[in-house]
A and B are shown apart, each in its own frame.
Chain A
Amino acid sequence: MAERAMRAELLSGNVKVICAGLRSFLDDLRAQGVESVGMEFRPRAGGDAELLRRIERLRGWGRG
């Protein structure tokens, strides 16, 4: 219950949104006058799990 109240309180004020993902989400919010910033986000390796597994094999201890 407390969590629900907190959520309601969060959305009752002046909402500012960081939008990761589809550009249309950001566009819709802005169209409604919601202060929003877009974050460029792409899933690693284009979301290809097999490709990501192969990249992980080529990755060492460092930042690579």
Chain B
Amino acid sequence: MTATGMNTLGDRIERANAEAVAKLKAARPVWFDVAPAREAVPGMHDRLILHAGPPIAWARMCGPVRGAVAGALVYERLAKTVEEAYELAASGAIEFSPNHHHGGVGPMAGVTSASMWVFRVRNEAHGNTAFCNLNEGLGRVLRFGANDAGVIERLRWMETELAPALREAVRLREGGIDVKTLIANALHMGDECHNRNVAGTSLLLRELTPLLLSCGVARDAVRRIFDFISGNNHFFLNLAMAAAKSMADSIMGMPFCTIQSAMARNGTEIGIRVAGLGDRWFTAPAGNPKGLYFPGFDESHANPDLGDSTITETAGFGGFAMAAGPAITRFVGGRAADAVRFTREMGEITAGRHTDFTIPALDFQGVPLGVDIRRVVETGITPFINTGIAHKDPGVGQVGAGLLRAPLEIYRAALDAFDADHAGEA
């Protein structure tokens, strides 16, 4: 309410945004299960392939997403070879849909098919659930567009040994595993929980160890699982992403709210959703990260920005918490001082700060939370994204990691839509 007791459109927006920030802070994501996508994902069927980012047809998909789709079709035994898989994908016999349209997310290509198992997270504060596939490691992996025999073999091992064991383990823990606490602790140990997950993975393994040793899985299988998780510093990312999705979904559809509820990239386009604008996407061409490349690769090999992992920034950690993880700059480029600057700058475009996700180096200041499209358009400051970089050709995999900013035009388009939806309201 204003001082004169008026209830203006601006007042309603302020109240909605304050409520949204409170919901994002109160969200309590708990990992409660691992299950095959065909059981856990609403609408999943054997000829449906989910992908990262806003909707896109096969004809416009980038190389790494095509590579990952083809790999998934071979993995699902819908095609015998990668070449046959490309033909099948182009034939119209396969349905494509964003993870976000089914209550989930996936890093990089984000390809999720029916037989892949997914982390299931419940937001205990608001009752909604979300999913994310399991992390395969770095380099030649499906999510970066690689699809050779080694990639498919690893996916089958994850399906037959890793995921069922994780299910047995997590089901032993009454009430599940509290992912919010893991994220909060990891932020105090040098992770930002998007491109640096060393602490998060270690903390998760600490939780899992007694459960895996108690759940009846054969000892040699437990050893392989330990080796896989401890050899993959990004294993925690996918669980953190499922948690972030469950947090961000709690504000989706809130009337009058101008806070971003999703940001995702399919390697061709980047898109955002805004809480008060429901399930609409506002898209623009995906940008090109500036970053650090693996030996033998450079910017000429890079695909534009890709993946659903920007759900972490949407939920109040990830790139917005870079000051908590300055070591990230060794992976994505820049200097340690830049990490602090990025976090401070993001505070200019958010509606609040997290109270549970805090940054020791900034005297335990909360991570900037809730990107407000009004602030982005007014200041011209757009969200930072830190990301892995996939090779632009299908079948190759990861070539580096880097930094970029979201384009202003998607925020301008969202503001135009919000303005139009509320035309005539005082």
Give chain A's interface residues, CB within 8 Å of chain B.
Answer: 42, 44-46, 51-52, 54-55, 57-62, 64
Contacts and interface: CB of A to CB of B under 8 A. Distances in A.
A64 B372 contact: yes
Given A54-B415, A55-B374, A60 B380 contact: no
Interface stretch (B12-20, B157-165, B166-174, B294-302): B12-20
Contacts of A62: 14, 18
Contacts of B15: 60
A55 B377 contact: yes
Given A60-B10, A61-B10, 7 more contacts: A42-B379, A45-B380, A60-B13, A62-B14, A64-B13, A64-B372, A64-B375
B376 to A, nearest CB: 10
Contact of B10 (A44, A45, A57): A57
Those 4 A-B pairs whose CB atoms lie nearest each other, nearest first: A60-B10, A60-B14, A60-B11, A62-B14
Contacts of A57: 9-10, 419
Nearest to B14: A60
Interface of B: 1-3, 8-15, 17-18, 258, 351, 372, 374-375, 377-380, 415, 418-419, 422
Nearest to B351: A64
B368 to A, nearest CB: 13
22 contacts: A46-B380, A51-B377, A52-B378, A54-B419, A55-B374, A55-B377, A55-B378, A55-B415, A58-B9, A58-B13, A58-B258, A58-B415, A58-B419, A60-B8, A60-B10, A61-B3, A61-B11, A61-B14, A64-B13, A64-B14, A64-B374, A64-B375
Contact of A42 (B380, B415, B418): B380
A59 B377 contact: no
Nearest to A44: B378
Contacts of B415: 54-55, 58
Contact of A45 (B11, B258, B377): B377
B379 A58 contact: no
Nearest to B16: A60
